[in-house]
Amino acid sequence: MAAAEKPTKEKLLSTLDDIEVLSRELIEMLALARTQKLPQPGEDTQILELLVQRDKEFQELMQTAMEQGRVHQEMQTLEKEVEKRDSDIQQLQKQLKEAEHILATAVYQAKEKLKSIEKARKGSISSEEIIKYAHRISASNAVCAPLNWVPGDPRRPYPTDLEMRSGMLGNMSNMSTNGVNGHLPGDALAAGRLPDVLTPQYPWQSTDVSMGILPPHHGNDFGLEPPGHNKENEDDVEAMSTDSSSSSSDSD
Amino acid sequence: MATAVPVVEEAEDYSFLPIIHDVIKCMDKESPDVHQELNKLKTKIQEAREQISAMPGIDLSPALQESRLQTLREQVQTKNQLLQKYKSLCMFDIPKPS
C-alpha cells in the first residue's frame, strides 16, 4: 500500500518537467550529432523512449485530472447541500429551544399556581364567617355612609371627639367635672332622630355600654338637639370637616 | 459520435510528440522554421503548466478525493434522514379556539 499518494497536480507538473528536459536533451543531442556528424550509439533512442513514455503518462494524468475536475464539481454541489441541511437543522434547533423556553415558563407558572391553590386550601375560611365579619365591619357604617346621612349629620365612621370624651378615657380624666361639660354621647344625639335599627353601633360604644359609663337616660336629661345645632358639636364637626374626604364643611 | 470526437481531440492536445516530431523534421531539413517550432514547443509546455495550475480538484490524489466524496455523500444522506425524522415527528394537536 503506497503511503500518502502524491496529488495529481504534483504528478502532472513533474511529468511535464520531465518532458521538457527530455525533449530539450533530445533536440540538443540531434543537433550535436548533426554538427559533429557522429552517430550516437543509441542514447537518443533511449531518450526518445523515455520521452514517449512520459508523454503517455502525461496524457493519462490529464485524463485523470479531467475526471477529478468533474468529481470536484459534484463535491461542490454536495457541499452546498450539506450547508443547506445544516441551516435547516440549526433552524429546527432554534425552534426547539424556543419551544423549550415557552414550555418551561408555562410549567413554572403552573407550579406557582398550584402552590397558591394549596396555600389557599390550607388557609381556607368558610364563606359564612367572612360574610359575618363583613356585616360587622359594615354595620358601623365605616365603609359606607348611612342611607339617610346628609351633610351636617355629626355621625362619622370614626369615633368623634365628643364620643372619645364620653368614653372611658374621657371620663377618667373628667371624673371631677362630670355632667358640667354638657357633652353628649354621639348615639344619644342620634337617638331622638333615628330609629333603633339604624342607630350606629360602633365597636368602641359596645365596650362603653358594657362598662355602664353612660346610662341612656342621661342623654334625655340634656335634651335632644338636632345635629348641627349644638355649637360645640358644630365646631367639632367643622374642625373634622377640614379633611378632604369629609363633605359636611358647608353644612350651615 | 459528436461526444467522442472532442475526447480524442483533447487527448491529442495533451501530447507533445507531434510538436517534437515537427522540430526534428525541421532540423533534418535544416529548415529556418526550426526556431519557430521550438517556440511552439516552449509555448505549449508553458500553456500546459498554466492549465494544470488552474484545474480544480487536482490538489488531492484520486483516492483521497474519492473518499472525501463518499464522506460528503454520507453526510448528505444522514442529514436528510435526520431532517426527515424531525419533520415527521408527532406534532402537538393544538386545539383551535372556538
> Does the global pTM surpass 0.80?
no
HSE, CB side, 13 Å, CA atoms: give it for residue A39: 2
Mean pLDDT of the region B26-48: 91
Share of chain B above pLDDT 90, in %: 58
Cell of A164: 372619645
A242 within 8 A of A248, measured Cβ to Cβ: no
Q: Which residues of A touch B21 (CB under 8 A)?
A: none
Q: What is the pLDDT of residue B38?
A: 92
Asked if B72 and A62 come within 8 Å (Cβ–Cβ), the reply is no
Interface residues on A facing B, Cβ-Cβ cutoff 8 A:
5-9, 12-13, 16, 19-20, 23, 26-27, 30-31, 34, 51-52, 55, 58-59, 62-69, 71-75, 78-79, 81-82, 85-86, 88-89, 92
Q: What is the pLDDT of residue A177?
A: 56
Best-predicted range by mean pLDDT (A226-235, B42-51, B78-87)? B42-51
Q: Measure the CA–CA gap between A76 and B72, rounded to whole angstroms.
A: 10
Asked if B61 and A7 come within 8 Å (Cβ–Cβ), the reply is yes
A238 within 8 A of A227, measured Cβ to Cβ: no
Kindly report, residue by residue over A152-211, the tens digit of the pLDDT.
988 888 888 888 888 888 888 766 555 444 444 444 444 444 444 444 455 445 444 444
Q: What is the pLDDT of residue B94?
A: 56
At B98, is the pLDDT very low, low, confident or very high (cuts 50, 70, 90)?
low
Cell of B64: 483521497
Q: Chain B residue with minimal CA distance to A15?
A: B49
Minimum-distance CB partner of A64 among B62, B75, B83: B62
Q: What is the pLDDT of residue A165?
A: 86
Other C-beta atoms within 10 Å of B7: how many?
A: 11
Stretches where chain A sits below pLDDT 50 are 1-2, 179-200, 203-204, 206-252
> Residue A189 phi/psi, 5° resolution?
-65, -40
List alpha helices for A123-175, DSSP H: 127-139, 161-165, 168-173
Q: What is the pLDDT of residue B76?
A: 94
Q: Which residues of B touch A79 (CB under 8 A)?
A: 72
Q: Measure the CA–CA gap between A168 and A174, rounded to whole angstroms.
A: 10
Mean pLDDT of the region B15-44: 91
Mean pLDDT of the region B6-21: 69
Q: Measure the CA–CA gap between A98 and B81, rounded to whole angstroms.
A: 23
Q: Measure the CA–CA gap between B28 and A20, rounded to whole angstroms.
A: 20
Q: Measure the CA–CA gap between A7 and A16, rounded to whole angstroms.
A: 15
At B7, is the pLDDT very low, low, confident or very high (cuts 50, 70, 90)?
very low
Asked if B52 and A67 come within 8 Å (Cβ–Cβ), the reply is no
Residue with the three cell numbers 464539481: A73
Q: Tell me which of A173 and B43 has the higher pLDDT.
A: B43
**Residue A19 backbone class (left: φ over 0; alpha: ψ -120 to 50; beta: rest):** alpha
Q: What is the pLDDT of residue B71?
A: 95
At B30, is the pLDDT very low, low, confident or very high (cuts 50, 70, 90)?
confident
Residue with the three cell numbers 509546455: B45
Kindly report, residue by residue over B63-79, the tens digit of the pLDDT.
999 999 999 999 999 99
> Residue A243 phi/psi, 5° resolution?
-65, 140
> Residue A115 phi/psi, 5° resolution?
-65, -45
Minimum-distance CB partner of B24 among A7, A30, A62: A30
- Angle at the Cα of A28 from the Cα atoms of A24 and A31, rounded to 5 degrees: 140
Minimum-distance CB partner of B11 among A7, A34, A59: A59
Whole-number average pLDDT of chain B? 83
CA distance A207 to chain B (A): 59
Other C-beta atoms within 10 Å of A242: how many?
A: 8
The count of residues in chain A is 252
Asked if A51 and B17 come within 8 Å (Cβ–Cβ), the reply is yes
